[in-house]
Structure 1
């Protein structure tokens, strides 16, 4: 199967029954087709046959965290992902935002994670991107996260660049069609 780096064709994909749409790689698989996914999540994975290079994208509807500053809020969600991953370390690389969209705040960073939390496995660096849309009047944080596991240095950089572009396209294109989702 092709690697993450070759997945460039995107299509507008409906999320949460069409309440949200976003441009995602056409070849990425909807995890709910083969595994149970919580109702507050949409999960997609790259079709890469090598689990060491597999990338995933998760969109979650979460209760608003008690952080008024959006930079602190997106960092909170990043650290929450680190906690869920049992990460040995986590580092925020940068935060930024787009000027021409619904203005999510974005973050990229790394986490040192053992695959499936197995102590017998060496921890690997995972590159993670997080986007946060705050839906103030619904008391909701809409969070998109994308991650790709580390591989050899040069290939990892190419894969991270491509997955980073996938993340930015998905974040830039995300559109909330029906705010009734957050009722």
Structure 2
């Protein structure tokens, strides 16, 4: 039985209930263990070293046609990635994100980044991470809502993540299910209080 078949989903409240979604049970709220910036919700699964990040960003004036690449590259800089590669960029609609207002521009980007975890340094400690990014553009609220699923497809034996994550064989399986995690999150994502975004 794969990891995917074992996932049990539960409702979660983000930003004090302003956003509702469903996450697999195996993900826990990182803010219970360490500080997380107010504009982010970070949930992680220690066994697979996967994470789900929901982030409210200031609306970028980058055109819709370029925002996927722009945001992916911006994440690569933030992650201090030694390499970054985009596999696919596409527009999503209400079929994939049913609780977001029709006409909202939603962009999905998939790719990989090679980056070290936390305080690790050196290429020998770099992990290869499958990164799935969804950008929901909300110019009327001067915001962009970002949903990211990070799933290591290779964890360096020298990485600090190797001490917590399961064997390499499971990393491939975990990375393979990242798309299903993203799909489930987007299908359930619902803004319940638009005041979260200010104006």
- What TM-score results when the alignment is normalised by the length of structure 1? 0.87
Distance 1:120 1:133, change over 3 A: closer
Q: Does 1:74 align with 2:76?
A: no
Structure 1, gaps ≥5 residues long: none
Aligned counterpart, 2:189: 174
Aligned mates of 1:128, 1:138 — CA distance in 2: 26
Aligned mates of 1:62, 1:133 — CA distance in 2: 10
Q: How many residues align?
A: 176
Q: Does 1:37 align with 2:36?
A: yes
Q: Give 1:135's match in structure 2, choosing from 130, 138, 152.
A: 138
Equivalence map 1:51-62=2 (5 Å) = 53-62=48-57
Q: Give 2:172's match in structure 1, choosing from 149, 154, 157.
A: 157
Aligned mates of 2:117, 2:67 — CA distance in 1: 27
Aligned counterpart, 1:93: 87
Structure 2, gaps ≥5 residues long: 155-166
Q: SS of the residue aligned with 1:115?
A: coil
After superposition, the C-alpha distances for 1:1-54 in whole angstroms (9 at most, x for unaligned) are xx9646511112110011111111123110011111110000100141xxxx31
Distance 1:43 1:4, change over 3 A: farther
Distance 1:31 1:113, change over 3 A: same
After superposition, the C-alpha distances for 1:99-158 in whole angstroms (9 at most, x for unaligned) are 422363211110011233512643221100001111121110000111011238864432
- What TM-score results when the alignment is normalised by the length of structure 2? 0.80
Aligned counterpart, 1:21: 20
CA RMSD across the alignment: 2.1
CA contact (8 A) 1:7 1:27 kept: no
Q: Give 2:147's match in structure 1, choosing from 120, 135, 144.
A: 144
CA contact (8 A) 1:65 1:141 kept: yes
Distance 1:31 1:6, change over 3 A: farther
Aligned counterpart, 2:161: none
Aligned mates of 1:171, 1:111 — CA distance in 2: 22
